[in-house]
Amino acid sequence: MSKDDCERLLLTLYSENGESIDDFYKRNELEIASNVTEEEAEVISAFHLMQKLDKNLLRIMFPQFNERRIENMRMRGLFDISSEHVASYYSLFGKGSQGDWSLGLSDIVKAFISLIESKELYLNERRMSAFISSKAVAEIFPSAEEDKLEKLFDRLVKNLFELEVLTKDKRRIRLDRKKAFELINLDEIRLCSYIMFPHLDEWVRKKSFYFFHLVKKIRGVKTDEIEKYVNRAAVISGFNYGGIEDLFLFCILKDQSGITYAVQDEKAEGPVIISSDYSISFTGNTAPLISLICTPVSIDRVKIYQITKESILNAFSLSYTDDDVISFLQSLADFTISPTLSSRIKIWFEEYSRINSERVLLLRTDEKSAKLIKSIPSLAEYILEEVSPGVFIMDAIAEAEWREILKSSSFDMMSETKGPEFNYSQYESETSFMDMIQYPEIRTEREICYDSTLRKRLLSAICEEEPMIHKIKEMMVLSGVLFSKSQVEKKLELEIVDAFNYMEKHRMIEKALKDKSLILVVENHSGRIAAGKVEMLESFEEGDHMVLGHKVLSVSRLYRVTVLPACLL
């Protein structure tokens, strides 16, 4: 908009009624926005995404805009415009239509992990190399180029080792099913970040989420100009990135006849067909559990997985029962699944349950100490069984945790654990793939879609007598952590400290105070629940209060407390 146009607009709209120029812009935002050029709209859009007027960054993104032009926009108040017409960032990353269906990283990772788990007992490095370059694996992905697929799998194996999803046990390669399931449960953006960059610190990791979020908005731009659009995403997100070729290798960007677009997440589409030969055929996205209870046959526009005895074993090893697996399969299918398949799964579960082996620690003590140990509420979840008076079978993996509880309960003179040595360091150093970031909500298209009807149905299905557990499950449903009725009905395994263990209660509060990725959930004597971040905690000498969110609460009046990830709020 030229200076003359701006003056004419002001004369037309700005009446001499004493209102401020800010109020004028707010009242006439749409009219002013309609007079902004497309070039200016891109600059304003970038400004809103960066949430600050950094002239140096704007000049890097828009070389055609010099200091004078940017200053002119600032003087005209255009950076105050926030209407949808201007504030949309979609024009920053192209306006072309989306290309045809393309194989995305999520489907490849899920299918690849499924292939590895079915072969893990027989794989070493040599066999792994031969396996990923074999014709049989390439045929599972008919739309992918074999050379590119082999190169991608080589990188994928290396990065899965970095994430400790794959580990090496002497000469044998093993899959950590728990970490694998956690990884493939991530949304596409987080999956891209962890697969492409296994080691990032927390702050850079969050920037990478934002970077991939913006890259996913690239629509139909010329391939020879793709660097400009990727650089825009890097500048806005603050994520230093220079490997554009990898975006194509990892199937995040797709080149089609000289036009590039971002491969999009597939939405659930029907129908899902479970055939009499135990194969599952569907279009749309792949449910994570499918990848660990089935073996991929063909991953194309129509995806085909096969249920086998070996693949169902993975579900059982992840603590799913036969009823859980049958319910999951039934929730996928549009028709009642075959009674033969249901009975077959039940037979397999009977075989699986026939022999159980557990790795445990024995805790031996005298009669007096045994009574005290049994009276510590927070220790109960770590005692698997009392085999005789004063002899307890303890959770071996959580040894460090229950030792701390015993120390805080005056059992601080404890000897080291004797007997066979087991390495539990892998559990202690286990990483979480649940880093969260909030993307800017300039337009409604950026908001995460959810099924409001399903959410209401799940909320009404919560049947918990304990107010705190009921509230926590509500939070988990609203945040999308619980998304099926079977999940809602399962028992929550949480460390909840009651009022009778004052020191443990303070430990939980101090833990939430130090770690801002955690929130504290508290319940008072009347059953009222509050949740939020701990902003301040007074010392013992000065008092007995804390600031939870914006509320001042008395610690001594808290009946129970627990900590949860902040992403649930």
For 31-58, the pLDDT digits (tens) are: 666 677 778 888 888 888 887 778 888 8
pLDDT over 90 at 569, yes or no: no
Instruction: Give percent of the chain with pLDDT exceeding 90.
Output: 11
Cβ atoms < 10 Å from Cβ of 254:
22
Closest to 503 measured CA to CA, from 416, 423, 408: 408
Going along 234-335, which residue ranges are E strands?
Answer: 253-256, 259-262, 269-274, 279-283, 295-299, 303-306
pTM comes to 0.63
Scored b (16 or more CB within 10 A) or e, 2-31 reads: eeeebeebeeeeeeeeeeeeeebbeeebee
State the pLDDT at residue 45: 85
State the pLDDT at residue 192: 93
User: What separation in angstroms does the CA of 433 have from each of 39, 233, 299, 499, 548?
Assistant: 39, 23, 25, 33, 27
Please give the Cα distance from 192 to 215 (Å, whole number). 11
Residue 466 tokens, joined? 């304990």
Residue 553 tokens, joined? 């609460």
Partners of 148 in the beta sheet?
A: none
Please give the Cα distance from 274 to 17 (Å, whole number). 70
Cβ atoms < 10 Å from Cβ of 163:
18
State the pLDDT at residue 268: 64
Please give the Cα distance from 262 to 105 (Å, whole number). 11
Write phi, then psi, for 565 (nearest 5 degrees): -60, 140
| pLDDT band for position 450 (cuts 50, 70, 90) | very low
State the pLDDT at residue 540: 46
Write phi, then psi, for 134 (nearest 5 degrees): -75, 155
Average pLDDT, the chain: 80
Q: Which domains does the chain have, with CATH numbers?
A: 3-88 (no CATH), 105-262 (no CATH), 269-353 (no CATH), 360-421 (no CATH), 450-489 (no CATH), 497-568 (2.30.30.100)
